Chain A
Amino acid sequence: MGVLAINGGEPLCRASFFKWPYADESDAKVLEEVAKNGYYGSFGIQSKTFSERFAALNDAKYCIPVSNGTQSLELIMRGLGIGVGDEVIIQGYTFIATLSSIIYVGATPVFCDIDLDTYSMSVESVKKKITPRTKAIIPVYVSGRPADLDALIELADEMGIYLIGDAAQAVGAEWRGRGIGSYGIVASFSFQNTKNLTCGEGGAITTNSDELYDNIMNMLNMGKDKDGKYSFLGVDYNISEWQAGILNTQLDKFPEQLEKRNENAKLLDEYLSEFDFVSPLKEDPRITKNAYHFYTFRVHEDKLMGVARDRFLNALSYEGVPVVMGYTPLYHTNVVKSEYTKKQIQGKIEVDLKDYPNTEYAYKHESAWIYSSDHILLSEPSDIKLIADSFKKVYDNIEELL
C-alpha cells in the first residue's frame, strides 16, 4: 500500500464541494407565480423580463431567450443567412454543439488551432483558414475565458466576416469592462444544468444588430413576418415561462456567485503558481471578468519525471480532486467523417492534424480541468486549499506512479 490514494492510501481531498444548481424559496416562489399566471409557454412575461435583464448584464441592445445554447447557434447562423456552401471557422477544442450547429445549417466547419497560453482560438491559425467562402468565425470562450477579441474582431472586420461569440460557458464574462455578449455581431449563451446561470435547459442570444434581432424573432414566430406571412424559416426553439422564471431568480444570486468564483480561482492560481509541474492559463488584463465556469490548467509532463498527464490526473482523482483531461478535439470524432455530415454540407470536412499542433499537444499531454457537476469554485477557501494540497501530495509521491 502506498501513500497515494490510487495505491490504497488515504484520500486527502475530503472536501464538501458546493452542490449545483443552488435553489432557495425565491425560486419556488417564481414557479408558483408562473403556475398561478396560467401561461407557461413562449414569449411570456418572465421571458420578457429576463431578456431585458440579460441584455443589460451584457451591455447589449437585445437579448433573445431560447431553448438552449446549441439551437441558439443554429438560429444565429440562419439569421445571418449562413448555410450550404458557406464555411465557418471553429477551434477543434470545444464541445460538439459548436460543430453540430454548423452542420445542422448545412455549412462547412473549418477547424483552426488554439493558443496554448490561453486555450482560445489562435488568430494566426484563423488567418490561414479564411477563404472566399468563409462567412463567420466562432471563438469559444472555453471555461468562461474570453478569446483575444481585439485581434479577432479586427480580423473579422477586415475580412468582412461575422464574429459569433460562443459564450455558452461565459455568462458574466467581460472584456475591457464590457459584457461579453456585446462583442462581435452576436453571442450565444447556454443555461444548461451545469452552467453558472441555469434553468436546466436554456439559452440566449445577445446582439446589437437590429436586422439580426428581427430575423431571429421572426424565425421564432414560426417564420411569420409582421404581416403574418411566412417569409422566414420557422423554428420553435423558444423558452418556456418555467425556465425564464427560474433564470430571473437565479440571476438575482448570480453577481455574488461570480465574485466568489473569481476569488477562488485567483486563490487556485496562486497555489498552482507555486508548482512547476502545472500552471494556470496566462493572465490577460483585458479580461476584466472571467466567468470561470470551471478551472482550466496546464500539466507539464516534462516536469513529472516520466509520468504521463493522464496518470497524474488519475492519481489526483483518487485523492478526491475532480479533474478531467478536457475536450477530445472534435476533428477526431466520427461526426466529421459521417455520411450524414457529407450529405448535409454537400462536401466533406477537411482535417489536417499538422494544422492544429497546439490543440493536439493540449489534448495528448497538457490540458486539464477541475470540473464536476458540483461547482468547485463556489466552495469554501479551505476546500480550495485541499485541492492544492492534493496536487502537492501527488507530486511529492510521484515515484509511486512510475
Chain B
Amino acid sequence: MRDVLFSGRWGTISPKSVEAQAAIADFMYRKHGLCLNSAYAALEALLRSLDIGYGDEVIVASYSNAVDSMTVSCVGAKPVFCDIDYDRCTISVESVKESITEKTKAVIVDSYAGDCGDLDTLSKLCKENHMYLIENVGDELVKNKQATATVMDIGKKNSLNTGLAGALVTDIDDIYNASYAYHNCGRSPVATDNLKVQDFVGGNMRIAEWQSSLVVPNIEKFEYKTEESKRLAKELVNESFKVLRVFHDRALFVYNGSNIDEYVILLNKKGIKADKRFAAMHKEPFFKSDYFKKQSGSEGIEDIDLPGVEKALSSFLWVYFD
C-alpha cells in the first residue's frame, strides 16, 4: 500500500490492477481477468458486453444473490425468476427450460456453498438455445470452466479481502475487450489517449489501486485459508443436524422445525452467525414497482409458484464460521 501511495498512481488502470487481473485469470484458469470496483459492476460490465439490455430476458433463480436480478434490471433487461432444485440447492435445470422464451439472452447461475449446479446440462441447454451461461460464484470463488464468463466478489473477508471489489474471467477475447471498454469509459485495453473514447458506451467501473494491491498476496493465502476453514467448519458442525453442504466458511443446514425465522434469531442471540441468506426475489416489491416496469418495458414480475424456493425459505439455514 505504501508503494501504491508514493507511486502517485492510485487508480485508472495502474500497475497493481494490471497485475491483479493477470493473477485472477491464472487463479481461475481462464485466459482473461478483469478487476472492477464491485462484483455488481463485474456483472454489469459483462451483461453490457454481451449486448444484454432493454427488452431482453435473463433467467435467474429466485432464491439467489440479489445482485443477479438487480444487475439484470440495472441494464434494462428483465429477470425471469425460476425455481431451485431443493434437494441440491442449485438452480433447477427443469425450471430454466420452462423459463426460456425468444427474448432469453442468458442464464445466471450462483454458487451455493461451492455448487453451481448441473453445469454440463446447463451449458448444453444454453448452447442449444443461443444463450450465454453466466456464473456468479460470489465470494466462494469456485473454479468451473463451462460458463461463458464467471463473476466473483473479491471484496469479502473470506474471499480476497480487498474491502470492496469484483472480478470477471473469461476465455473469450471479444467479451474481455468489450467488458474492459464498458468498465473504462469506452477505452480499449490498448488505448493511449485517455480523452479518446471508442464505440462502446463506456461507464466507469474501475478498481482502485488500494484494493488491487491486495489481490496477489491474498490469492497466495486463499487456498490455505479455504482448506483451514473447511476443516474447522467440519469440526464445528454437529452431526445430529442434517447438513446439505459444508464449504469454505459456511455450512448449509436443513432445518426441520416450525419457525426458521425464530430459530435464526435464537442462533444470533447465542453469537452464532446464521441467516436464511437469500430472499424469494420474485416476490420483492421492486419487481412490481413502476420504475421497474418503466425500465424493463414489462408489466412487472408476476406472482408465480416456485415450490423449491418456498421450501428453501422455510428450511435452508446458513451458518457462517468466522
A interface residues with partner B (beta carbon < 8 Å)? 19-21, 23, 27-28, 31, 35, 39-42, 67-71, 74, 78, 81, 83-85, 95-97, 99-101, 103-106, 192-194, 198-202, 222-223, 229-243, 246, 324, 327-328, 333-335, 338, 340-341, 343-344, 346
Supposing A41-B163, A200-B12 touch, asked if A97 and B53 sit within 8 A by C-beta, the answer is: no
Supposing A40-B162, A68-B206, A201-B37 touch, asked if A242 and B211 sit within 8 A by C-beta, the answer is: yes
The smallest beta-carbon distance between A233 and chain B, in angstroms, is 6
Q: Which 6 interchain pairs have the tightest Cβ spacing? A: A40-B163, A200-B10, A200-B11, A242-B210, A236-B40, A70-B204
Contact in complex: B206, A232 (CB < 8 Å): no
Select the stretch in B84-92, B121-129, B141-149, B286-294 that faces chain A: B286-294
B284 interfacial contact with A, CB 8 Å? yes
- Choose one: B6, B39, B48, B204; the contact of A68 (CB below 8 Å): B204
- Choose one: A19, A106, A240; the contact of B163 (CB below 8 Å): A240
Bound complex: CA A39 to CA B161 (Å): 9
B300 interfacial contact with A, CB 8 Å? no
Which of B209, B289, B295 is most buried by chain A, counting CB atoms within 10 A of its CB?
B295
B198 interfacial contact with A, CB 8 Å? yes
Bound complex: CA A78 to CA B286 (Å): 13
Bound complex: CA A149 to CA B49 (Å): 38
Chain A residues with CB under 8 Å of B40's CB are: 234-237
- Total residues of chain B contacting the partner, CB 8 A: 64
Bound complex: CA A72 to CA B55 (Å): 25
Bound complex: CA A69 to CA B37 (Å): 13
Contact in complex: B211, A335 (CB < 8 Å): no
- Choose one: A28, A67, A344; the contact of B38 (CB below 8 Å): A67
Q: Name the residue of chain B whose CB is nearest to the CB of A96.
A: B197
The smallest beta-carbon distance between A226 and chain B, in angstroms, is 13
Q: Name the residue of chain A whose CB is nearest to the CB of B193.
A: A324
Bound complex: CA A341 to CA B2 (Å): 41
The smallest beta-carbon distance between B311 and chain A, in angstroms, is 21
Chain A residues with CB under 8 Å of B73's CB are: 233
Contact in complex: A230, B197 (CB < 8 Å): no
Chain A residues with CB under 8 Å of B257's CB are: none
Bound complex: CA A327 to CA B196 (Å): 9
Query: In residues 196-235 of chain B, which contact A (Cβ within 8 Å)?
Result: 196-211
The smallest beta-carbon distance between B235 and chain A, in angstroms, is 24
Supposing A81-B291, A222-B67 touch, asked if A100 and B199 sit within 8 A by C-beta, the answer is: no
